[in-house]
Amino acid sequence: MADITIDLGGAAALAEARHGDPFSILGPHDGQVRALLPGATGVEAISNGTAHRLTQVHDAGLFAGPVPPGPYTLRIDWAGTVEETEDPYSFGLLLGEFDLHLLREGTHQDIAMCLGAQPMEVDGIPGVRFAVWAPNARRVSVVGDFNSWDGRRHPMRHRVEAGIWELFIPRLTPGAVYKYELLGPQWNLLPLKADPFAWQVEVPPATASVVADIAAIPKPRPWNRPSPQDGQPVSVYEVHASSWARGDGDVALGWEELGDKLIPYAVEMGFTHLEFLPIMAHPFGGSWGYQPLGQFAPHAPFGPPEHFARMVERCHEAGLGVILDWVPAHFPSDPHGLAMFDGTPLYEHADPKEGFHKDWNTLIYNLGRREVRNLLIGSAVHWLERYGVDGLRVDAVASMLYRDYSRNPGEWVPNMYGGRENLESISFLQELSRVIAERCPDRLLIAEESTAFPGVTRKPDDNNGLGFDFKWNMGWMHDTLEYMERDPIHRRHHHGQMTFGLVYAFSEKFMLPLSHDEVVHGKGSLIGKMPGDEWQKFANLRAYLSFMWTHPGKKLLFMGGEIAQHREWNHDRSLDWHLLDDPKHAGVQRLVRDLNRLYRGLPALYQRDTSPDGFAWSVIDDASNSIFAYLRFGNEGEKPVLVVCNLTPVPQQAYTVGVPVAGAWQEVFNSDAGIYGGSNMGNGGVVQGAEESSHGQLASLTLTVPPLATIILTPA
């Protein structure tokens, strides 16, 4: 037998799983093949049909022996079970220089197809290529059921120039469960880490990553998606996927069953988009998805990635757009996640004054690090392109923009100029919007931003804008809800809360949100916020929703609001669909459906949402009667729309309102109609306008304005 030469020190390091360059020892070397296979009782290298028995040269399972040059396989005897496979250490470099260059720059926009677990063929051999960023680790191994979670079996090659570790494991197939085992910079063994770039994960509370069958995920089909321009109707139904409806045994529905029920419902209700609370993989359901760890993987309890892709496709087939809540502001500190990923603060800031959210007990992404930005922008592109979703609603933007967000003096670090603005986050958001505008120009980017930060919906190159298509109008929501919660007898003293939103309504492109945040944490339900007896509560809610649907700005309503659910939303329970047996609740549902249809059918209600010439007050100063009247205008040739709101329980007879033209005006909507549960007071369908100027308009209407109601009229 030929001499077997091997570095005994290196062999010992391999055996102790502390060798950072396994390819320097394992695989083919100078006419020998070396394999570390702990637990094997015998190994042969098969070359050109000939078996060459390898000798065990270390008790830990290191085998070596002479083998002719060329391709070979390993025949491994696992104590009576024989496996034949290619040697992972016989393959060359996997990632190309251009990939490494882009990763190093932080500009690899297809990072989801580069890092993580990628089923593929290498040199004609099927298997899975693993790649992960861990620049400060001493050693990284892929571990899973396929190697008994033994970190000695599959240590990875370090591509030092980019801090990437890579390995191709032949014959491994989709469905394999895996994690990464890392030695930190101090040679310390870290908790097993899930793959930050995994396309699929285990169902919690299990925490491992899963090799996804990427080829089984259908590619998005082209469809005539709604334009992101503000001249289109956008009415969003916000949904928490696991509590919209529950299945037998009170369990969450999967994407297929949910789609069977939710899609036709949203279409029947007239919404243009579904928006899901974050469906990215998250370890704790009680976070509603707002503490994600898998920025590339759909949440496992709803089904595999291909089921989510089919859900999006079905929405498109039904004419519904899909928006996902997306969280680039922070992440949880679970030990299997991103925290101290390679033994250093890699994805987070080292200084807790920059890197820890006290409010949420989470870690803040270090957006000054280009590789971290690359992960997040790659995630955004992944959902928009690979799954074909129509928009992202970026969560907690305010917390990203300011270094002193929710911090007391001395608890935050100023920027390089001594200010409170988070320059790195601002730059990140601008880069995000530029990338999406270039690669996905027909998709929406929406900001949940609660401050007066200027230019949220301006283009990044336009006076330092952030580049969002729309911004949630949190001020409008807080002011108007606070007004509606007041007893009508006191509303006259707070009239400005309903009108103030028009002072700044055209400073940004706004979306009006009645979101999940308003029906949790002791805030009660929408119907529960309304004052008065039961009839007044429902009348108030109907009038308020009608006010919202006719106010400038796109619309968003959280599930349950459309059926006037009494109780506060509970993420572990289905909506109370049985309430629809009550005509009052069914009336609110019908009202929302009719508002959506009216909204989409009257261009004056959406075409000039962001332009001051699309709105005019007719009655703004009638605080004593708590009446508001305003006009909406569309593009040239479209009919104007008159909206009159009476927010007291006192009906108004012969009430004069200014309008731009005389003649017949049709009452096309009345929230007090009997079909909605109202008193059926109104104007008999048509009102004749007089050529008598009023409220700055050339003509006027004399109306009956029902109690706690909103009416809508257009020229007949």
User: Does residue 664 contact residue 689 with C-beta atoms inside 8 Å?
Assistant: yes
- Span 311-333, average pLDDT: 97
Token pair recorded at residue 363 = 């870690």
The answer to whether residues 40 and 110 belong to one domain is no
The answer to whether residues 186 and 275 belong to one domain is no
Model confidence pLDDT, tens digit, residues 468-480? 999 999 999 999 9
Q: How far apart are CA 365 and CA 370, in angstroms?
A: 11
Q: Does any domain span residue 409?
A: yes
The answer to whether residues 594 and 614 belong to one domain is no
Of 52, 67, 90, the last residue of a domain is 90
Of 90, 117, 136, the last residue of a domain is 90
Token pair recorded at residue 75 = 């025949």
- DSSP states of 385-451: IIS---EEEETTHHHHHBTTTT--TTSS---TTS-SB-HHHHHHHHHHHHHHHHH-TTSEEEE---S
CATH of the domain at 701: 2.60.40.1180
Q: How far apart are CA 341 and CA 144, in angstroms?
A: 18
Q: Quick check: helix, strand or coil at residue 58? A: strand
Of 101, 4, 99, which is closest to residue 45 (Cα–Cα)? 4
- Top pLDDT among 697 and 592 is at 592
For residue 604, the 8-state DSSP code is: G
Model confidence pLDDT, tens digit, residues 81-106? 999 999 999 999 999 999 999 999 99
Instruction: Residue 198: give the domain boundaries.
Output: 97-216
The answer to whether residues 329 and 370 belong to one domain is yes
The answer to whether residues 253 and 394 belong to one domain is yes
Q: Does any domain span residue 154?
A: yes
The catalytic residues are 395, 448
Buried b (16+ CB within 10 A) or exposed e, 195-219: bbbbbbbbeeeebbbbbbbbeebee
Position 384 pLDDT exceeds 70: yes
Handedness of CA 199, 325, 239, 273 (dihedral sign): negative
Q: Does any domain span residue 294?
A: yes
pLDDT number for residue 105: 95
- Span 232-249, average pLDDT: 95
Note the Cα 713 to chain centre separation in Å.
Answer: 38
Q: Which region, left, alpha or beta, applies to residue 270 given φ > 0 means left and ψ of -120 to 50 means alpha?
A: left
Model confidence pLDDT, tens digit, residues 510-567? 999 999 999 999 999 999 999 999 999 999 999 999 999 999 999 999 999 999 999 9
The answer to whether residues 142 and 249 belong to one domain is no
Token pair recorded at residue 148 = 């008994």
Mean pLDDT of the chain: 95
Position 385 pLDDT exceeds 80: yes
The answer to whether residues 31 and 118 belong to one domain is no
- Span 577-586, average pLDDT: 98
Q: Does any domain span residue 228?
A: no
- The pLDDT confidence band at residue 713, using thresholds 50, 70 and 90, is very high
pLDDT number for residue 159: 97
Q: Does any domain span residue 229?
A: no
pLDDT number for residue 271: 98
Token pair recorded at residue 392 = 């992202």
Position 318 pLDDT exceeds 90: yes
pLDDT number for residue 609: 93
The answer to whether residues 84 and 136 belong to one domain is no
pLDDT number for residue 109: 87
Alpha carbon distances (Å) from 40 to 72, 150, 173, 616: 18, 13, 22, 81
Contacts of 703 (CB under 8 A, 6+ apart): 644, 652, 654, 655, 656, 657, 683, 687, 711, 713
Of 381, 338, 402, which is closest to residue 180 (Cα–Cα)? 338
Q: Does any domain span residue 226?
A: no
The answer to whether residues 354 and 421 belong to one domain is yes
Q: Does any domain span residue 355?
A: yes
Q: How far apart are CA 6 and CA 57, in angstroms?
A: 9
Of 57, 90, 123, the last residue of a domain is 90
Q: Into how many domains does the chain fold?
A: 4
Buried b (16+ CB within 10 A) or exposed e, 266-283: beebbbbbbbbbbbbbbb
Model confidence pLDDT, tens digit, residues 583-622? 999 999 999 999 999 999 999 999 999 999 999 999 999 9
The answer to whether residues 328 and 461 belong to one domain is yes
CATH of the domain at 179: 2.60.40.10
pLDDT number for residue 3: 58
Number of H helices, E strands in the chain: 15, 36
Model confidence pLDDT, tens digit, residues 635-691? 999 999 999 999 999 999 999 999 999 999 999 999 999 999 999 999 999 999 999
CATH of the domain at 321: 3.20.20.80
pLDDT number for residue 480: 98
Model confidence pLDDT, tens digit, residues 37-95? 999 999 999 999 999 999 999 888 999 999 999 999 999 999 999 999 999 999 999 99
The answer to whether residues 587 and 654 belong to one domain is no
pLDDT number for residue 1: 40
User: Does residue 341 contact residue 347 with C-beta atoms inside 8 Å?
Assistant: yes
Q: Does any domain span residue 541?
A: yes
The answer to whether residues 472 and 560 belong to one domain is yes
